[in-house]
Chain A
Amino acid sequence: MTIIDAGQSKTRRPIAGRLVAFAALLLLSAGTSAWSTQAGKSMSSSSDQQAAAPAEVEILRGRAGVVGRSRVGVSSIVATPPPFQGALPGARATLIEMRDAPMHVESTLVVSEKMLLPLADGLHRVSKLATPSESDRQGHVAIDAEAARAGSPNTVFASEEGRLRIGGPEVKSAYDLRVLAWTPDQHAPHSATVEWLTAAFPREAVPAQQIRQQTVKAGDRLQVGGATLTVKAVEGQTQDHPAWIEFELAPGA
């Protein structure tokens, strides 16, 4: 039976093993109340209230945190092979950013260390990606608390390998938009082909007429899930970010 959450997977001891552990723990914890209501050592202390605002926010893999005005979840952190055929070296993380204003929007991005992460208040630097290890069993992502470049909550991005979700949080009221192709390529695109469909069901279950595709360039507009997306820029992959489309988001058609 596995122990679930974020990087921990343990197998429960068999019953005999439990009894041995039980006896050992009794010796170690003699005198402790069985139904103790003592707060653990990790309960809050007053000194915590006076701590200065952190320079960066650490989020463990499998968990979520708050950066600026966004919530950010860390879905995965994996090592990548050495540079090969244009692949970015080092660890990569799949991060999901969520904001509620001006409407519910989620953006999933695959980023490397030192890249910029678009959040509701601007572009934040991903200062560290730590893959799971003996000393850091879950791995974690550190994100600069201050935006490296100020932005707007109305600016959203659809990136290479990523997903832009408009609406929600329930999938039945959301649409997922993905980039299918960059023209001429992801390094210097002048346009991109995107596809969007309901977030409720996998693509193969959705009738073809309900799957929309369009090739877009700067200045084009899309109507997606009760929102208007205006293309501000189609940008190629750099050291700072994957190839992405920058949209201006306006609720309503």
Chain B
Amino acid sequence: MSSVNVAFAGVDIQRFLGLAEHNPVLDPKIGPDNTAPNRSLFNDANGQPDFSNSSQPNPNDVKQEGYGDCYFDASIAALAQQHPDQIKNMIHDNGNGTFTVTFPHQKDNSAGNLWGLFGDDYHDVKITVSDKDLPSNGTSSSDGTAKWPEVLEAAYAKMQGGYDAIGNGGHPTDAMTALTGKSADAYSPEDGAGKIEQALKDGKLVTIATPESDGNQAGMEAHKNPHDLVGGHAYTVTGVCTGPDGKKYLELRNPWGFDQPTNIPLDKLNDGSIDEVEIGNA
């Protein structure tokens, strides 16, 4: 049950019941560009629309906006980087302004499966969304980039019970599992640092999450992330490189599509700037 999954993800009961205060920031609006003929599902290598469907999804197509679903956006960017074909296989363009997205191998916790009491049951879940389901403040909706991030976001929102259910925080491991149907794990920075490079080589999805910053307390410096990372945010790990000082550095991508972090020394991951490392199988 999607609503049950939402509850397990930590969304409070008030929001589950639909009693949460109206939030105009979160109410989607249809943007003038959502049905624009110059937008394609995937863009070519130069970022231009490609209606032949021969282009690949690119992590740089992902540009988070009005919803608090950085955990999802960081995860789809990771999947686009590691396995772009998987995204192409997930999205079927029905040719009539609708798209059917397949979330593979999803665990069935429903009453029909007796809530998994006698073993887990798994299904592919198909969600159909139309251009009209894509909000103007959704991922990648603002500047005519490729549609695929918006389509995945809209389908994920439908599967989970709406944009309110996905747009107020979540966990990258849940998003990774929804996208791949495979397991994902979270590690402390200390434990995760040594796994990142090999995980990327193995084609796994890797993200990091930053600790929440508390804006209620006085003073800027007390809340300043050592590496200027946004608090309570998820980033895609795009690589590990060697710096001019010979040290290894983590390359990160902000799902906003800008404000990309300066590479972070791998041996500084436990300095408080990162809460955890998430690694998902794909």
Contact = CB atoms under 8 A, between A and B. Distances in A.
A32 interface: yes
Contacts of A5: 68-71, 168-170, 232-234
Binding site of B, secondary structure by majority: helix, strand, loop or mixed?
loop
A8 B169 contact: yes
A211 to B, nearest CB: 11
A227 interface: no
Chain A, interface size: which category? 35 or more
Contact of B65 (A8, A39, A66): A66
A6 B70 contact: yes
A6 B1 contact: no
Contact of A25 (B7, B28, B137): B7
Contacts of A73: 230, 256, 258-259
B10 interface: yes
Interface stretch (A55-63, A146-154, A184-192, A218-226): A55-63
Interface in A1-16: 1-13
A25 B171 contact: no
A132 B137 CA distance: 22
Given A41-B162, A64-B65, A76 B231 contact: yes
B50 to A, nearest CB: 20
A38 to B, nearest CB: 7
Contacts of A180: none
Nearest to A140: B25
A43 B230 contact: no
Size category of the B interface is 35 or more
Interface string B211-240: 111111111100110011011111000000
B158 interface: yes
B200 interface: no
A178 to B, nearest CB: 12
A6 B260 contact: no
Contacts of A71: 63, 142-143, 256-258
Interface in A29-47: 29, 32-44
Interface in B52-68: 60, 63-68
Nearest to A106: B258
A1 B68 contact: no
Interface in A126-180: 131-133, 135, 138-140, 168-171, 174, 176
Interface stretch (B38-46, B82-90, B125-133, B189-197): B125-133
8 contacts: A5-B168, A36-B3, A42-B167, A60-B66, A71-B256, A78-B215, A132-B214, A205-B247
